[in-house]
Amino acid sequence: MTVTSHPHPHSYPHPHTPFDRWEPATPTEVAALFAPAATAAPWWVAGGYAIELAAGRRLRAHADIDVLLLRRDQLAVQRALPGWHWWAADPPGQLRPWRPGETLPRSVRDIWCQRGPGEPWRVQIMLAEADGATWVCHRDPRVRLPIRELSAVSGEGVPHLVPQVQLLHKAAAPRVKDEIDFAAALPLLGPAARRWLRDAISLVYGSHSWADLLR
């Protein structure tokens, strides 16, 4: 089946693409895809690529690529990727077609995107919460930051999430790759960013080895 416009909600079945079949878009490809939506809806490369863009160098292999949008701007995905297949990740791990114009419930935090049926996954969208001009951490609403402070721009002009916010997410259950990212990002953090991350980690997770290293 060739998709030439927004997919009808029942035009394709459950994806035959395995969850681990990824050919992630590069950050520059993501920037080209989402550039038209940027004036109306801010977006940021997130995940490990955000740390890599901040460091300005390759750190490790990446299995996928994450793009963060505010939940209220979620339909910008459909405008930026017309003709693609969009899948809402319904907890605890089911993918279902995301209908054109559908507002996803708060339980859905991720959208998986592929160019067509059976194609590899190219982009994963993560939806962030906001209160007016303030980003709100989904793990603990006491942790907040002005939305304007979420963003940095790489030397290639790619918007990405600032390291301290990305590391807060990674601190939940650090894996080997998260420790690599933390070690690379730590020297990049100024005093204010270190304090914010240390306090946020302590508030959300309690005692944590990263918080000790940030002192």
What is the pLDDT at residue 6? 37
Count Cβ atoms below 10 Å from residue 157 Cβ, excluding itself.
10
Facing residues of 110 across strands? 126
pTM of the full predicted structure? 0.91
Q: Is the peptide bond before 92 cis (omega within 30 degrees of 0)?
A: yes
Look at the chain and count its residues: 215
What is the pLDDT at residue 13? 59
What is the pLDDT at residue 2? 29
Distance CA 14, CA 87 (A): 9
List, for residues 11-41, the tens digit of each pLDDT value. 555 677 999 999 999 999 999 999 988 778 9
Query: Exposed, middle or buried by CB within 10 Å (0-12, 13-18, 19+), for 133?
Result: exposed
Say which range, 18-22, 178-182, 191-195, has the weakest mean pLDDT: 18-22
Write down all domains in the chain, each with its CATH number in brackets: 27-161 (3.30.460.40)
CA atoms within 13 A on the CB side of 143: 21
What is the pLDDT at residue 4? 30
List, for residues 56-108, the tens digit of each pLDDT value. 999 999 999 999 999 999 999 999 999 999 999 988 779 999 999 999 999 99
List, for residues 127-151, the tens digit of each pLDDT value. 999 999 999 999 999 999 999 999 9
* Cβ-proximal residues to 73 (8 Å cutoff; 6+ apart), any chain: 40, 41, 42, 43
CA atoms within 13 A on the CB side of 15: 27
Short-list 131, 137, 134, 132, CA closest to 109: 137
Short-list 32, 103, 40, CA closest to 74: 103
